[in-house]
Amino acid sequence: MENREKWANTIFLILAGIFISSLVSCNLIFQKFFVYYIGTEDGWHYKFVQSVGILPYPITFLVTDLISEIYGRKKANLVVISGLVASVFMLFVVMIADLSVAASWSPVDDATFSKVFGLSGAAVFASMMAYLTAQFIDIRVFHFWKKLTNNKHLWLRNNGSTIFSQFIDTFCVLFLLCSLSVLEWNIFSTLLINGFLFKVFIAFIDTPFFYLFSHLLRKLFNLKLGEEIQD
């Protein structure tokens, strides 16, 4: 029993660490945008435009789904709050670093550092509000489907909660960024469609991993399907 509790705490901390590092990295790198063309060079093609901050973000939803499945809603909500605190602390550290004057021999000067890491307060506010809304919705919807299906159909609660909450997140953050004049309204629909399609694509890809990891954790902790580790 003691060994099981030790492993449960260790794995929870690892999952929480992955969640927080993914979230913090999103806010650090979001100012770089990339363009990717899908299709043939001479024929039909689709122009995919998005911030690189979107790359690690879907991982946060996979982690909260795993924690919700194995540890329950309270632990998942705790990780979400911890992610918010970590992000605010990161912003404070970046702000102090940005205000510090670079030495004459510093490989990175003040202007370059400020351009890369000088995060917009409005952008961060939009990101955090969208993050909180989407993550809490994801956890609530996950447990709604879990209860409705009597703990069956893992793919439904994994994808159903993630896809819905990812749309809310994408819409909220872009709406706030455009409303606060961080981004132009003329790219709102493009970024919304691209961001949502990318997150849906990742949600389907991570489904086998959700099945695999949840199965391994249930086996490790001797849990039945739908059963959670009790505090």
The pLDDT tens digits of the residues spanning 142-152 come to 778 778 777 77
What is the domain extent for residue 206? 2-221
What's the CATH code of the domain at 159? 1.10.1760
Q: What pTM does this model have?
A: 0.81
Q: Is the predicted pLDDT of residue 156 greater than 70, yes or no?
A: yes
Cβ neighbourhood burial of 192 (10 Å; 0-12, 13-18, 19+):
middle
pLDDT over 90 percentage in the chain: 14
Q: Mean pLDDT in the chain?
A: 82
Residues 170-210: tens digit of each pLDDT: 888 788 778 877 778 888 888 888 888 887 888 788 888 88
Handedness of CA 26, 171, 78, 217 (dihedral sign): negative
Domain count, the chain: 1
Does 230 fall in a domain?
no
Residues shown for the chain: 231
Helix (H) or strand (E) holding 66: helix 57-70
* pLDDT tops 80 at residue 125: no
What tokens were used for 37?
């063309």
In a domain, 122, yes or no: yes
Mean pLDDT of 118-138: 74
Q: Is residue 229 part of a domain?
A: no
- Residue 24, pLDDT > 70, answer yes
